[in-house]
């Protein structure tokens, strides 16, 4: 099955066999090999697989995670999962992501964590205390796929540049 590329600025869908907007772009190996939709946007590329898994890639084709710091204890019980992750999954993660600098830190007597350092000078820290190696891999993948932006709490449910004096329109209005 070919890729279906949709540009949100233009109505309609166009089919391409090889997208010309991203030279050298290769899809990751996945159990769900058939890609249903590749959405182009100013923000991350979004790939939706047939089993509903969404994969956010990079901002304008540039990976935002610059450095991944893996901190662990070599004897603590809460670091058991991250030690197994480092033995089995970390080499493959390094190989799949050559743009990513991976650093391991030994912190004796401390709980394990993953720290992501992003290109926009932000950092995210994820505690992986008592997690299995699969859950640690999932946390590392989420750090890699995120943009590193700070979470902003919205003041209202409806965000617009030109707010209405009359309020937000809904179908439940009675006239």
Question: pLDDT for 47-75, tens place per residue?
Answer: 555 455 555 557 888 899 999 999 999 99
Q: State yes or no: pLDDT of 32 exceeds 50.
A: no
SS3 130: coil
Q: Which residues contact 87 (CB under 8 A, 6 or more apart)?
A: none
Which of the 8 DSSP states describes residue 140?
Answer: H
Q: Are 1 and 34 in contact (CB under 8 A)?
A: yes
Q: What is the mean pLDDT of the chain?
A: 75
Fold of the CATH domain 65-145: Glutaredoxin (3.40.30)
Which two three-digit tokens encode residue 75? 């004897």
Domain boundaries, the chain: 65-145
Instruction: Look at residue 47 in the predicted model and tell me its pLDDT.
Output: 53
Which pTM was predicted? 0.60
Q: How far is CA 15 from CA 43, 64, 82, in A?
A: 21, 29, 43
Question: pLDDT for 94-128, tens place per residue?
Answer: 999 999 999 999 999 999 999 999 999 999 999 99
């Amino acid at each position: 099955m070919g890729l279906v590329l949709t540009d949100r600025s233009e109505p309609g869908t166009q089919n391409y066999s090889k997208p010309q907007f991203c030279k050298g772009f290769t899809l990751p190996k996945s159990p769900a090999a058939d890609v249903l939709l590749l959405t182009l946007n100013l923000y991350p590329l979004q790939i939706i697989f047939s089993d509903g898994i969404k994969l956010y890639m990079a901002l304008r084709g540039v990976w935002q995670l610059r450095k991944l710091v893996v901190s662990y204890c070599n004897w603590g019980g809460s670091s058991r999962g991250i030690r197994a992750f480092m033995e089995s999954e970390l080499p493959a993660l390094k190989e799949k992501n050559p743009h990513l600098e991976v650093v391991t830190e030994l912190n004796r007597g401390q709980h394990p964590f993953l720290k992501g350092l992003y290109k926009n000078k932000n950092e995210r820290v994820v505690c992986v205390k008592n997690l299995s190696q699969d859950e640690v891999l999932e946390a590392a993948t989420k750090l890699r796929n995120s943009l590193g932006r700070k979470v902003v709490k919205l003041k209202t449910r409806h965000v617009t540049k030109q707010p209405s004096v009359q309020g937000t329109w809904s179908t439940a209005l009675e006239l």
